[in-house]
Amino acid sequence: MIKRRSWPQYAAIVTVGVVLSLIPPAVGGSPYYMRLATVMLAFMAYTVAFNIIFGHTRQLFLCLGALSGSSAYLSVVLTRQLGLPPWESIPL
């Protein structure tokens, strides 16, 4: 039997995500901490994606690696060619 989460649990998860995303600008924008936060957020996104795909549907979807690799490549191209900051290119 699948246990569903209630609305307060989702609100807590969203609150933690917002607080964690505000830490890098508060630290002062050090390149080391910005890189660390970017990698951390990417791995968090992969964790959520694998949890949805493999945890709930019991399917192993191997194309997720190709999708994340092409998204990372697009983020780098937007950052270097257009001069966008990494924080603006990640959502695109």
Average pLDDT over residues 74-87: 81
pLDDT digits (tens, 9 = 90+) for 41-78: 778 877 777 777 777 776 666 666 777 778 888 888 88
Q: How far is CA 22 from CA 9, 19, 29, 86, in A?
A: 20, 5, 11, 15
Residue 91 backbone phi and psi in degrees, to 5: -65, -25
Average pLDDT over residues 24-46: 76
Could you tell me the pTM of the whole model? 0.44
Torsion of CA 50, 54, 5, 91, to 10 degrees: 30
Residue 62 backbone phi and psi in degrees, to 5: -80, -10
